[in-house]
Structure 1
Amino acid sequence: MRVVQITDAHLYADTQARSRAGVPWRQFQQVLSAVIAEQPDIVLFTGDISQDETADSYALAVEAMEQLPCPWYWLPGNHDQPEFMAAERPMVDQVDMGSWRILLLNTQVEGKPFGELGSERLAKLAKQLEKDDRPTLIAMHHPPVDVGAAWMDAIGLQDRDAFWQLLSQHVQVKLILFGHVHQAYAEHHRTGDATIDVYGCPAMADQFLPGAEQFAVDEASRPGYRVVDLVWSDAQGSEWQSWIERIN
């Protein structure tokens, strides 16, 4: 089963509008064309769909995403307006993938660049995990780990300790996908008796420079996406492979 993650499109209603290092709408179309060629079973859009936060920018995104040959789901990032998103396409918090399950977490804190789950969302996540022990993939916008860029680490998931404490009690969580960082990232994170693979994804728009102390655009890198192949077998249990692809 193939899952493709896209993230951080930062679209404007004006399709000719420029970002720091490109034209977001043009980059979005290029990434989407490459994603379609991957023949995904599901696409996850992990936030920051819009830059100008207009209703028209979300309508533009949905119109383009309808080209996909598979179901797709989105969740809000720190730049997004959830009410505009929901008006265009309902947001869901879980997806049944048969032998696997996907949980989509909203980490947005209104008006803030950093993320937080908070007590209510953490309690909801706990109930979801208690009810179902299938192998689980969690998708979210804000990183629950430090990625090594000081300015970005300051605006990641603020209540990550509580998040990891919760996950330490639920060994069915196998991997986490996040956006926000505009760069590839991979870590094997040990929590409790389990190791969870944690993956960041390149943006569809501008890329950020890895390891930077202050904000910096990585002008040598290209927009991209993440592919995750999920497998289940009676003999081996849950397995997966993941890698990054970039557009030319």
Structure 2
Amino acid sequence: MILYLVGTPIGNLEDWSPRALATLQAVSVLALEKWTDTAKLLHHFGLRPEVIVNYDDRRQKTATAKILTWLETRDVALVTSAGLPGISDPGAYLVAAARVAGHQVVPVPGPSALSTALAVSGWTESVWFVGFLPRTRGKIVKLWAQAEALGSNLLCFESTHRLAKTLALLAEKHPTVEVFVGKEMTKKFEDYSVGLAADFLARLAVDKDYSRGEFTLIIHFGK
């Protein structure tokens, strides 16, 4: 049977493709990362899967066993809260297990924070995607030094709570390096800006609402 990896909108529900919708209409078993996020999508498109399996970072092993059992008799679709499963989201463990078990894995691509940020930044050459930055200052600084040595534009995700701290560290260590900041991409209050880290810190100082939301950064160490 087939495991479908179905991309979901990163913000705007109208970005979902007809093929993705048709896939979820066709399967009876849906594995999802977080019910509260996927419920909005299902309700918007009138989808009611027969079987739902919770598949998040904490349940990967136990959920994979359940999904493999379903795959013996039915096709299964996997979705995460936003974007394509396995890209800074759960999915890789299940994909590997499904292949070992002899099942076909088929992607149904959709909106992507990576490609969206790259396209609107204009910095599309020599890109290093690292997901979320490390937690410690030392590891972040080391990662930036590696990207600078490679001449790679470093693409990462950042949370509301860490944005100011990350920008302050960037302003300290790389004050002349430009950074692209994509905020709430494809959503109602989307914003795309390029500047120095100090510029964004100044913006945060006068606009407290700017730090609210989801952020994608590209640090311009490359061309």
Pair in the same fold by TM > 0.5: no
Structure 2 length-normalised TM: 0.35
Greater Rg over alpha carbons, structure:
2
**Which structure shows the bigger proportion of residues in helix conformation?**
2
